[in-house]
Amino acid sequence: MILQSLNLTNFKNIGECSLEFSHKINCFLGDNGVGKSNLLDAIHFLSFCKSFAGLTDPMLIRRGEDFAIVRGHYLRRDVDEEIVAGLAVGKRKSFRRSGKEYRRLSEHIGLFPLVMVAPADIEIINGSGEVRRRFLDMVISQGDARYLEALIRYNRTLTQRNSMLRDGIADTSLYMAVEMQMDMSADYIRRVRAERVDRLSEIFGRYYAEISGTRETPRLTYRSHLSDGVTLAGLLAANRERDRILRHTSVGIHRDDVEMTLDDMPARQTASQGQSKTYTIALRFAQYEFLREVTAMSPLLLLDDIFDKLDAGRVERIMRIVATDTFGQIFVTDTNRRHLDEIIALTGGSDSIWSVVGGVFTPISR
């Protein structure tokens, strides 16, 4: 899959821009805070219908303006496609694929696969279980529409049960009806998560070794309240009285986690800055290869200021990895032109490079 061009109007600090991209590597050079990451966030928005940075839709509209438009032209499975996203103050966002608006935004997820590597990824290691679940759900949902539907159903019924607990509802039959619906979704979600984490861990270990150049052993392990012999319906029934006191649902797949270790020790407690950065980059590269397997497409790869806190050896090994045929179209930002020139030299393919100042993108001739 290739993003051929991007047109932005009033997106974050970018007033107007129209860019045509190389099919291999596209580089954006500039100081911090000039708009490089905002461009990547626009590309992310076209794939996921939301900001990578977690900003609300109104916050994506340029200050002082009342609307924003993000338009991308893709070559997907040898077919030209256009995605147009519209944001307006006080209105619901609009997403159109080749002129047709989606009934539900969830229908769009996974059609234009993408992996973004960014400094904020450190929270996958250091953050809460919710952050790791969100990462896992994003990975799986891009290649499994049934999983996404089950996740939406589960979260909807979880919200319903929590509302009943807060309101002090005592009717056991009502709880049983909701809990059976939760159980039906949870079983599929748990099984798929377990399978996908095993596969991700396998790929991830290989990339970690390639980037680090060490014999350290990283591992991902899925942890869940559920197992082949334990159903969610049974757990919810057993914990119902406790949950009434707590006023929220204390057990279920919404409490699952992915244990991240390095040499059998928790990575969040023992990994150095360089090891943590290597860990998250290897995790994202594993995500890329996994998505390529399950979607039979090459996702877009977005690399946002990834070389900070890495020694020269790891930087060089990352460059050589992304230059291989495993990775398709790449978008990379940096404050250091030397890094960008070295990546371009390694790819040996077509390339484009822009200077970015104040949300304005200017081509740089090479």
Worst-scoring range by mean pLDDT, 72-76, 231-235, 287-291, 340-344? 340-344
* pLDDT band of 108, cuts 50, 70, 90: very high
Looking at residue 65, what is its pLDDT?
94
142-157 average pLDDT score? 94
Q: What are the tens digits of pLDDT across the range 15-71? A: 999 999 999 899 999 888 888 999 999 999 999 999 998 899 999 999 999 999 999
Residue 54, token pair as written in the block: 């977690």
More confident residue, 351 or 112: 112
H/E element, 303: strand 300-304
Q: Is 348 a residue whose pLDDT tops 80? A: no
The reply to whether the predicted model has a pTM over 0.85 is yes
Q: Is 113 a residue whose pLDDT tops 90? A: yes
Looking at residue 172, what is its pLDDT?
92
Q: Is 306 a residue whose pLDDT tops 90? A: no
97-121 average pLDDT score? 92
* pLDDT band of 366, cuts 50, 70, 90: low
Q: Is 349 a residue whose pLDDT tops 70? A: no
Q: What are the tens digits of pLDDT across the range 81-99? A: 999 999 999 899 999 999 9
197-212 average pLDDT score? 95
Q: What are the tens digits of pLDDT across the range 261-281? A: 999 999 999 999 889 999 999
CB-based burial, 20-33: b 16+ in 10 Å, e otherwise: ebbbbbbbbbbeee
Q: Is 283 a residue whose pLDDT tops 70? A: yes
**CB of 260 closer than 8 Å to CB of 169:** no
What are the DSSP calls for 22-75, one per residue? -SSEEEEE--TTSSHHHHHHHHHHHHHSS-TT---GGGGBPTT-SEEEEEEEEE
